[in-house]
Structure 1
């Protein structure tokens, strides 16, 4: 066990020394990895802020529940109780047919109802759902429409559907970009390790001759790739924090102009660990591929 720990410590120290021996090359590689990670991560954070902003928007979808003329008082009471007790409904208000007619006439449509013998408008409930997800809104519509005494239920959810479609496209785009930049990160790490292997090829061949295993030879390069990934991940996090710092004040001023309490959401702890872990994983994988290919050629 002590021997195993000693080998790993030696490999780690060797990787650190080689990184410090070429500071400009190491810094350039870390910056390249950081930028490659920063682009999809910044798009992801943009989508998160748009989703958060949508949740703060006062314009929520509304549901109109029209009551049938044949509805009994019992049906009306049950509908009222169901609406007031539903956890899916944030706010509700009852609009009688007299109130609806008065509002219609106040908006300049009095001529449309002047020749009518009776009020053609139904009583209605105007509801504000808690959720904006189109699927949940549709479930709420079906649930209310099935209640006795309900003539029809109409939900104005077109804007919510457009927003969800936009966010879905953005999420798919983030996944595609993350995959592409992940491949690029593997290539960056692999090229950096390949340069290290070429400079130590004689040392590797001698180690092979004296009986060193592939695992022993591969170890310092894997640590080198891991350290590269960690430095690149930290660079990406630093760039994202800097971006948030630069945008926080102007975004806050813009929100104040529109009377919104919105504040820019930055990099969370979980997202930061995902970025750092992804950078380490892809860099390690690039190092492993480069060393494995080199060992096959030497063999």
Structure 2
């Protein structure tokens, strides 16, 4: 009886799986899914993260490119010096034009008509006649002796004129016409009329040489800008050649970066900042060279102005113009590096 019960219990424990209650397939799948570790979906980086990564790479390239230039100071200094000389030449011409404009600033507003009188002229009657002319604002009479004294004062040739037997200068009548009488062809008409007077030996209008000076200044300024354009092209060529050599020296590194998925923009950044540093350094050197040149000629210019009783002082670039020159150099360096890197990086592709 006992053996029968033990056998029954063993048969019950050893029952086949088919005899047990089966769990549904959906329940088992759910249970297996819960036991597996959760797999996170791979999400694309957000725009803010991409922007932060780009900014970090830009900052890193700024520092690394500067360190590369400092690591080879002789080559970097020579390249910057060549670019600086190209920037100095038009800068010096523009500084000279600005100083001449400053020197002649007070002349444009007071054109004078000078009448050199004959020896037999009667100044009183001529002055009365011209005083009634509505085109004449004011007039000043200088006798021959007064004209000689004024010439000696402003020319500094008193020792020379003292040896002359007689006064070679004539009496002078200085007229200041109204500006309305000097517009267009009216100036030439007034000059012709004054020249036709019987008491006048020669009539000279100061506006003529002022206009010539203005045209010379315009020509000089335009020539300076054209020279600056040509030398800017030369700076671009110098930077382009320097960046080309830098790209060739790092060809294997560029190939590796492109193999791992680096874009041309990513590879281009260190070379762009290298060109930027070259240009900025050249701009600073050019500003210093211009100031040195101005300082070297400032003494003789001041002594020459003193001889003509003038308070003129030679001006240099100034702070704003110096900063502008540095920015122009940096822009040229960046542009030259961009042109060179765009061209040469396309030729480097992993095989």
TM-score band by shorter chain is 0.7 to 0.9
| Equivalent position of 1:212 in the other structure | 262
The partner residue of 2:112 within 48, 55, 62 is 62
CA contact (8 A) 2:107 2:210 kept: no
What are the superposed Cα offsets for residues 90-148 of structure 1, whole Å, 9 maximum, x if unpaired? xxxxxxxxxx9xx95xx5224899xx9x99944232459xxxxxxxx9766349x7xxx
Write the mapping of 1:223-262 to structure 2, written as runs, cut at 5 A: 223-262=273-312
Which stretches of structure 1, 4 residues or longer, exceed 6 Å deviation after superposition? none
Q: Is 2:141 the partner of 1:141?
A: no
Q: Which has the higher contact order (CA 8 A, sep 6+)?
A: 1
Q: Is 2:230 the partner of 1:180?
A: yes
Alpha-carbon distance between aligned partners in 1 of 2:181 and 2:109, rounded to the nearest angstrom: 18
How far off is 1:53 after superposition? 1.1
CA contact (8 A) 1:62 1:127 kept: no
- Residues 119, 198 of structure 1: alpha-carbon distance in 2 compared, 3 angstrom cutoff: closer
- Residues 257, 111 of structure 1: alpha-carbon distance in 2 compared, 3 angstrom cutoff: closer
- Residues 172, 119 of structure 1: alpha-carbon distance in 2 compared, 3 angstrom cutoff: closer
Which of these two proteins has the greater Rg computed from alpha carbons? 2
How far off is 1:60 after superposition? 4.2
How far off is 1:237 after superposition? 0.4
Q: Is 2:65 the partner of 1:15?
A: yes
Alpha-carbon distance between aligned partners in 2 of 1:111 and 1:277, rounded to the nearest angstrom: 65
The DSSP-based 3-state class of the residue aligned with 1:160 is helix
- How well do the aligned residues superpose, as a CA RMSD in angstroms? 3.2
Alpha-carbon distance between aligned partners in 1 of 2:306 and 2:128, rounded to the nearest angstrom: 44
CA contact (8 A) 1:63 1:127 kept: no
TM-score, normalized by length of structure 1?
0.73
How far off is 1:277 after superposition? 1.4
| Equivalent position of 1:279 in the other structure | 329
Structure 2 unaligned blocks of 5 or more: 1-50, 140-177, 192-204
Alpha-carbon distance between aligned partners in 2 of 1:247 and 1:119, rounded to the nearest angstrom: 46
How far off is 1:200 after superposition? 0.2
What are the superposed Cα offsets for residues 218-257 of structure 1, whole Å, 9 maximum, x if unpaired? 0010000000000000000010111121111221112112
How far off is 1:260 after superposition? 1.0
Q: How many pairs does the alignment contain? A: 243
- Residues 140, 18 of structure 1: alpha-carbon distance in 2 compared, 3 angstrom cutoff: farther
What are the superposed Cα offsets for residues 164-192 of structure 1, whole Å, 9 maximum, x if unpaired? 11011101101110100000010111111
CA contact (8 A) 1:63 1:153 kept: no
